Structure formats: structure tokens, C-alpha cells
Amino acid sequence: MTEDRNRPIGVFDSGLGGLTVLRALHRRLPCEDLVYFGDTARVPYGTKGARTVRDFARQDAGLLVGLGVKLVVVACNTASAFALDHLQQILPVPVLGVIEPGVDAALRASRGGPVGVIGTPGTIGSGRYQEGLAQGLPGLPGLSPDRILVGECPLLVPLVEAGWVEHPATDMILETYLEPLRTGGVDTLILGCTHYPLLKGQIARHMGPDVALVDSAESLALAAETLLADLDLRRRDGLTGGERPSGSLEFHLSDIPWKFAEIGARFLGKPITDVRTVSLEEMEAAGRL
């Protein structure tokens, strides 16, 4: 069991947005070793079909399992929507997705008004957030359909990756995307994409101070902490004040994108070094695990 506790946590995303989840995990579980895989050669997943996303997610998760992780964190809303159930059935380690933690946080935060969700077309089109909010969770009753408002925001991911977080064009696009949710009276808004925490300040300005924002990265990190504790898989030195000051961060990408160091540091909040690239052949082999 001690050996299992000392294995790393694996995190994957279609690209670099999942680095916000890695950052939240590292902050919440600083003694845990973390392994990140970004499928940057095939990003984005948000505009692809369900079968393609499921195949890619199986390869991503298989790669992490091959690296000896104790938990797979799906830091991609689209992959969570289309592939989480499949991964939970076939993988030999626990798998945690981003949608249920976000739904849980939103149901707890709502004060009785409508709840909104923004995300990529794939995430919104899957209906998984809508289903989760309607069904509810143990101890948290679901919402009626008229209290669930959603918005597809396809332009936000490329704007964030281009570094246009404070650009007037991004502000104008946010105004267009968010206006129906604001006028619809939502009191809680789920940021249903791991890129969106970088726009949290701007989104808060547009939605106003009375709207609670649910950060998908923070919600997922909290859920991972709880799951590790429940399964007795959390590192002991993270609980007893041992000598280990900080866990390691390991990075794998299927391609090194243009301006990767700049973009990655923006998402993670610190420089990224020692990145290993993974070939398509390795990915296909990992999917057969």
C-alpha cells in the first residue's frame, strides 16, 4: 500500500488548458508527484466527435497508466463528457473527471436562481453538465430545465492561448457570450473549460459581484484530494509534516507548440522545463493497454 501511495498522479488534457488543473493540484497537494500529458498535436477536442474523443482519451490515459500513476485526472471537459465512463470501466486505477466536481460546487453555491455553464461546443453539446445539474447529487437536489442556462464559447480557447486575456477583442467577445446568461439571471456560473480560469477576472466583471463563479480547476483539485483520502492513496509525508518539501512535476506532450514555454508558464504560473515528446505510434500503443 505504501508503494501505491508514493506513485504519482496522472493528469491529461487535449492541450495546455489542463495546466490550470495541474497548478491547482500542486497547490492543494504539494507533496504529490504529478505527471502531465497534453495532446497538443491533436488539440482541440472540443470540436471533435464523441468516438474520436473517446479514442484519444483512451490513448492519453493509457500513456499515464504506463507511467505508473495511481490516479488518472481527466483535466478536459470534452474528454470527461465523452469518455469518463469508458475510462472508469477499462483502467486499472481510479479515474476522476472535471464535470461532476463542477456540478457539485455549483449546486452548493447556487442561492436558488438559475445556474449557467459556459464551455466548448463539444462540452455543451454533450449535455453532461445539463444532465448532472438536472439529476443532482446525494444531498443536493437537481434543477428544473428552466434553471439551467448554457453558452458555447468557441473563441475563448484560442484567445487565451494567444495571450489575449486582457485584449479589448476578448472583452467584446465575452460580452457577447455572457449577455444571455447575465440577463437570464444566473446566480452561479460554471467555467466549463480549463482555459477559462485565466479569464476569471474578466468574466467576474461582466457577470457582476452577485454571481458565484465555479472554477473547474479548483473544483477538480478538491475532488482529487478527497478521493485520495477516501482510498488511502494520499502520500503519508504530505500528512505528517515530513521532510519532503514539494512533489515533482513531469511533462509529456504529443507536440511542442509554438510559444509553448510562454503559454505553458502562463497556465501553470511557473516555468516549464524538461518536456518529453510522445510520438503518435506511442500514443496508439498506449491505447491498447
Q: Residue 152 — very low, low, confident or very high, per pLDDT cuts 50/70/90?
A: very high
pLDDT of residue 284: 87
| Whether the predicted pLDDT of 214 surpasses 70 | yes
pLDDT at 131 (0 to 100): 96
pLDDT computed for residue 289 by the predictor:
66
C-alpha cell at 3: 508503494
- Active site residues per annotation: 76, 193
Give the residue with greater pLDDT, 289 vs 62.
62
Written as nine digits, the cell of 18 is 489542463
Do 206 and 226 touch, CB atoms closer than 8 A? Answer: no
Flag the least confident range among 55-69, 105-119, 239-253: 239-253
Task: Quote the Cα angle for 69-75-80, to 5°.
Answer: 105
Position 220 confidence tier, pLDDT thresholds 50, 70, 90? very high
Weakest mean pLDDT among 13-22, 167-176, 259-268: 259-268
Domain ranges, ordered by start, for the chain? 2-97+219-286, 100-216
Residue, of 217 and 95, whose pLDDT is higher? 95
Q: What is the β-pairing status of strands 71-74 and 148-152?
A: unpaired
Using the predicted structure, report yes or no on whether residue 240 has a pLDDT greater than 60. Answer: no
| Mean pLDDT in residue range 41-58 | 92
Q: Comparing 3 with 98, which gets the higher pLDDT? A: 98
In tens, the pLDDT along 160-206 reads: 888 899 999 999 999 999 999 999 999 999 999 989 999 999 999 99
CATH topology of domain 2-97+219-286: Rossmann fold (3.40.50)
pTM of the model: 0.90
Nearest-5° Cα angle at 193, 220 to 280: 95
Is residue 14 within 8 A of residue 42, CB to CB? The reply is yes
Reply yes or no on whether the pLDDT at 244 is more than 60.
no
pLDDT of 137 reads 86
For residue 283, name the pLDDT band (cuts at 50, 70, 90). confident
Average pLDDT score over residue span 237-263 = 76
Residues with Cβ within 8 Å of residue 184, at least 6 apart in sequence: 114, 116, 149
| 101 or 15, higher pLDDT | 101
| Sheet arrangement for strand 188-191 | 148-152, 115-119, 188-191, 212-215
Asked if pLDDT for residue 95 goes beyond 70, the answer is: yes
> Are domains 2-97+219-286 and 100-216 of this chain identical in fold?
yes
Secondary structure (DSSP) of 196-210 = GGGGHHHHHHHH-TT
Fold type of domain 100-216: Rossmann fold (3.40.50)
- 1 — pLDDT class (breaks 50, 70, 90): low
Average pLDDT rounded to a whole number, residues 80-96: 96
Cα→Cα distances 258→16, 22, 164, 220, 267, Å = 12, 21, 15, 28, 15
Q: What is the pLDDT of residue 238?
A: 55
Given a cut of 90, whether residue 130 has pLDDT beyond it is yes
**pLDDT-based confidence at residue 260 (cuts at 50, 70, 90):** confident
* Confidence check: pLDDT of 242 > 70: no
